[in-house]
Structure 1
């Protein structure tokens, strides 16, 4: 091994992106009850009703077109799975690992994620309830696409060509490709992706006749993972955290937001379709959040700010899967339901119960964090 390679390896080992772990925890915080907790806090502090209403609305998904804060959670996670690729895959390639071996690891990780998601319904042993198209399906398949391209295409310029080329292709196919019963406009139940959901694989669909995580959507989601990998390689290329890198991430975020808004004029921002405008708009906010966490935690070394999020982020898949297997609500009720019943104010009752739900999960994750027990997929 050459001296240059040794230095690169040592740099990768010493440079842990604490900001990425914290950002992943920030993302998952809203899923484990943070969304309701924040709204409950706003009500208890008697913030203006209009502000509370707006905040509450932002903690819900849009029905079709548009974008709210809660719509960012899923694509941000896909983006971050890409950011980790240069550290988990490309670093090993630089150290001399076989591309075939690394490709097998990518396939294995994607398969494990898909199987974990499938277990949520398959283990009920009710065939009609089995749902293949889950959140983990889309994360796993998008990771397979984005990480594989990153592994085999060394040039970042070629990757950008692939990114925009695939989004343009997806746009054209979604708008113009004919299929039985095609309508004159995109609707939730009449579009190519929904038609493929119903006809490609026989499985239980989340919306009844289509699934927002289904079929062809893995292609644009894979491009979001690919863009995240470009961001990760950008970060890794600096060797150590620098303000200049953070500012470049901010600039990239603003460019993506501008492109997403512009594309949205011809193909609206629609999460259920993972439309090209949605991909770019989500990427823009993902870049901005990554830049913010990176500057504060890695450049300024203010890592204490992320102490709440780190235990969540280090076991993100575990805590997500636990929502199906662990009766967190019952555990919360055992400790907090009685106390909440002693309170006369309904707002405080809700705050105690929502805060208790987050707390019992966080304490379990903190216990694992202190013992360095992490689920590695």
Structure 2
């Protein structure tokens, strides 16, 4: 059995995405957030909109290396491992949703979420890459992107890319029901819903191709050139396709997939050149800490953030406010002002998560979910 080779660039890139996921999800006040740290309201792509697809992309890149020990083929033990990991991640997502509501009322349980999309993206992509030859994997990726576009266009009605008129919402309502959707802008629409998880599989597959490029190319400098070439092509193609099929994170449109994957390839190429070719590694340690226990630290951050929503009495006003609001109004806002105080809270939250990751890293504790 071949031991998979580990690239520091992948760990650092993964760590960067987790660090950003933690920070952008936890401002001191949602009323005071710098625009680049907010998601696009609907169409468009802010820096924050890149974080989740980057994680899915890097998950795909890592799959190429981790599946080398399976000789990139399916067997009964491999199937069991994939199914077990998929189910565990999905169940963690459901647990997060229950904790967020402090309820186990299954009749109103949100089914989907970030972890649930990660689970489906991993599981489906894993069976595709291990069950098909590489050329058929490429065909499957194209079929997902084109098929998803066709589904949204032909079943979406007069406004196929609008919040209320898109088929993603209609499909999720039919399959899951309104009681099991998160809700967005007063509409029954889940921001990480079921149908929109299909194109996220393509994001994982494109990451898988990037990992394959790095591993199969004769040397890293040549791999960097390929990643940059494919990446720039993806950025341009995504932008052009976005003229008719809007770049939209909430719908996870095919143009969004290609555009964000292109950016991810460029950034991965840069990391590969700086870290693994030039050897500039000293600065990478903080991000590597996040990258070695990514899902665990992300899940911890979510549970931690939810816990900080618990309400306590404000001695100044007598009102019951969340712990987050108390910390922001009594410490971070007076210290740094509205916007900077909100950002400082998010950074402090991230540091707490990092310290946990650092302690685990020092003790060589690596939790694989």
TM range (shorter): 0.7 to 0.9
Where does residue 11 of structure 2 map in the other structure? 21
Q: CA deviation at 1:323?
A: 2.6
Query: 1:116 matched to which residue of 2?
Result: 92
CA contact (8 A) 1:142 1:218 kept: yes
TM-score, normalised relative to structure 1: 0.82
Contact 1:336 1:356 in 2 (8 A): no
Could you say what secondary structure the match of 2:247 adopts?
coil
Asked if 1:361 is matched to 2:353, the reply is yes
Kept in 2, the 8 Å contact 1:254–1:284? The answer is yes
Q: Please, which of 139, 150, 167 is the counterpart of residue 192 of structure 1?
A: 167
Match of 1:142 among 108, 121, 128: 121
SS at match of 1:271: coil
1:287-312 CA-to-partner distances (Å, cap 9, x unmatched) read 11111111111111212121111111
CA distance in 1, matches of 2:328, 2:129: 47
The residue that corresponds to 1:46 in the other structure is none
Task: Calculate the TM-score normalised by the size of structure 2.
Answer: 0.84
Tell me: CA distance 1:348–1:189, structure 2 relative to 1, closer, same or farther (3 Å): closer
Query: Structure 2 vs 1, CA of residues 117 and 154 (structure 1 numbering), >3 Å: closer, same or farther?
Result: same
Q: CA deviation at 1:176?
A: 0.8
Q: CA RMSD in A?
A: 3.0
**Is contact 1:117-1:135 (8 Å) kept?**
yes
Separation in 1, partners of 2:166, 2:216: 41
Quick one: distance in 2 between partners of 1:98 and 1:35?
37
Secondary structure of the structure 1 residue equivalent to 2:110: coil
Pair 127,158 (structure 1): closer, same or farther in 2 beyond 3 Å: closer
Once the two structures are TM-superposed, the CA of residue 343 in structure 1 deviates from its matched residue by: 4.6
**Contact 2:159 2:165 (8 Å CA) reproduced:** no
Identify unmatched segments of 5+ residues in structure 2: 310-322
Aligned counterpart, 2:258: 280
**Paired residues of 2:58 and 2:204 also in contact (CA < 8 A):** yes
Asked whether the equivalents of residues 122 and 129 of structure 1 are also in contact (C-alpha less than 8 Å), the reply is: no
CA distance in 1, matches of 2:55, 2:64: 16
Partner of 2:314: none
* SS of match in other structure, 1:133: coil
> Which structure 2 residues correspond to residues 1-377 of structure 1 after superposition, within 5 A?
9=2, 12=4, 15-33=5-23, 56-93=34-71, 99-122=75-98, 124-155=103-134, 157-177=135-155, 182-202=157-177, 203-207=179-183, 208-238=187-217, 242-326=220-304, 343=335, 353-377=345-369
TM-aligned CA deviation for residue 335 of structure 1: 10
Please state which structure has a larger fraction of its residues in helix. Answer: 1
Unpaired runs of 5+ residues, structure 1, are 1-5, 38-52
Shift of 1:280: 0.3
Count residues in correspondence.
Answer: 345
